[in-house]
Amino acid sequence: MSKEEFEFQKFRKSGTILPFIIAALCILTIVFLLRKCNSPNEFWNGSYPNYSKITPIFPDKPNVLKPIDTTKIIIPDDPLKRPILSNLLNVYVQDTTNLKLFSKAVINTYIDDSISVTYFADAYKRVQFEVPPNRQKQLKTQIKEDFQLVKFVCYESIISNNQSKSDPGFSNLEYDWFYRQIGLYRAWNQTMGDPSIKIAVIDDSFDPNHEELVNQIEKPWNVFEYSDKVRVYNSKSVHGTHVAGTAVGEINNGFGISGVAPRSKLIPIQIADGNGMMTTSSILDGIFYALKNKANVINLSLGIDLSKAFGSLTEEQQEVYANEIYLDEAAMWNEVYEIAAKEGTIIVQAAGNSAVLSSLDPMKRSKATIVVGATDRNEKTAEFSNYGEGVDIYAPGVNIYSSVPNQQFKQMDGTSMASPIISGCVALIMSVDKNLTIADIKRLMNETGKTFNGRDNLIQIDQLLLKIKAL
């Protein structure tokens, strides 16, 4: 037994190493005898075997996701009824863990399950295992129990982008109503953003040649293709282009309308495969790419459809579920968001379109992000918007006019549209004062927002910037 084989046993929580020592001595004795008697041995070549060749551990390249196998998509027996891939588990370990040794330990501990590694990210200590579908649920529990270095074990979930339900633009009251409602025109007297402030939009796909985006883009990335070629795979993939245009579309180009922060820059990060599917892993890869490339703001117009699972429950019943389900996954997302906050990056995310409490979604429970609900033209909560104490601020999300592929524009609904409005506002805020923390920004949003429903606040960016200036 090699030294590397021996060391990985230290990852186990319990058990003795004595049987392994005895086995190693037996193997060495046999090898010695074979050499002495010159017996033929096809495995012997004068050196100890290369363990990595006997048990392949990692794919050739890190951070490269395999295409989504749609035949493995199932709806698990749990409250969220969220689609997952039945053959994958994502395991997150302590920062000091040697991923290769840990992976070998897992593979050899459950040797009968023929586990393999499909993906790994050493920079943030995450490894994805392919497991037998009939053992996925048990292994999810066992791996965390058997290895003390494991922090979280989560499914590979299929995430939606909250698809909508359904410069000439500035002269149309139907198109620019939300600019006026949040005080954006007055805010632009102070700033339209700054090229040093970069908004990373993590979404399904982008039209990089759209007139609203072509001059705004820096450092694009396509997660599944592992390249800088962002694109639109089919005519239905309009979401990312619309979101990006709402946040940072170009101004004074004689075309369409503009984003909330038109002088800032865009990092488009495409996280959907050719079928428009996004996963937990592709989102995480997008976030860490944005952090690596010094994004100041990250927009996540993504989430889970919660209406079927929870739409008929009372708020009290929903609160019980929010406090009991997917705690491991919520803790994982919170840790990622806190990493971003320490880097000085503000994450803004859509609350969701299921008309339920936003905190039912484990992605939305952290205090280290800004969760955005949607309002309508009457400054009321949009009928589809998620709500509750987990929503930090509201922004218009009905009939939002912005770019879609092929030099087109469209009005769309959703908290997906409200979120980039807030991302643009955060870029304006950071253009005035880059030192504000996420806690500072959330406090200022609520102190200067327009209160409705007696508890919620609609962003008023002009008043917020004035308050910063007065500080």
pLDDT of 325-361, one tens digit each?
889 999 999 999 999 999 999 999 999 999 999 999 9
**Separation CA 425–CA 458 (nearest Å):** 12
Q: pLDDT for 67-92, tens place per residue?
A: 888 899 988 877 777 889 999 999 99
Query: Which among 146, 194, 203, 207 is annotated as catalytic?
Result: 203
Together in a domain, 113 and 217:
no
Predicted confidence (pLDDT) at residue 154 exceeds the cutoff of 80: yes
- Can you give the residue range of the structural domain that contains 113? 3-159
Final residue belonging to a domain, choices 125, 159, 193: 159
Q: How many domains does the chain have?
A: 2
CATH assignment of the domain containing 149: 3.30.70.80
Q: Which two tokens stand for residue 128?
A: 């994805």
Bridge partner residues of 381 (DSSP): 375
Contact 163, 239 (CB under 8 A): yes
- Is 210 a catalytic site residue? no
Together in a domain, 34 and 55:
yes
Predicted confidence (pLDDT) at residue 10 exceeds the cutoff of 70: no
Q: What is the pLDDT of residue 43?
A: 23
Together in a domain, 120 and 179:
no
Query: Which among 157, 416, 423, 431 is annotated as catalytic?
Result: 416
Q: What is the pLDDT of residue 312?
A: 87
Q: Treating both helix axes as pointing N-terminal to C-terminal, what angle do 415-432 and 461-470 enclose, rounded to 10 degrees?
A: 20
Q: What angle (nearest 5°) sits at the alpha carbon of residue 140, between those of residues 134 and 145?
A: 130
Together in a domain, 100 and 172:
no
Together in a domain, 53 and 189:
no
Q: What is the pLDDT of residue 62?
A: 67
Question: Where are any strands of DSSP class E within 10-82?
Answer: 73-74
Query: Looking at residues 411-422, what average pLDDT do you find?
Result: 96
CATH assignment of the domain containing 261: 3.40.50.200
Q: What is the pLDDT of residue 171?
A: 64
Closest CA to 149 of 78, 215, 97, 225: 97
Predicted confidence (pLDDT) at residue 42 exceeds the cutoff of 50: no
Q: What is the pLDDT of residue 167?
A: 56
pTM: 0.84
Q: What is the pLDDT of residue 12?
A: 52
- Is 14 a catalytic site residue? no
Give the range among 42-56, 256-270, 307-321 with minimum mean pLDDT: 42-56
Together in a domain, 214 and 100:
no
Final residue belonging to a domain, choices 159, 178, 201: 159
Q: What is the pLDDT of residue 30?
A: 38
Q: pLDDT for 358-374, tens place per residue?
A: 999 999 999 999 999 99
Query: Which among 160, 164, 237, 239 is annotated as catalytic?
Result: 239
Q: In this predicted model, which residue has the larger pLDDT, 29 or 174?
A: 174
Final residue belonging to a domain, choices 130, 159, 188: 159
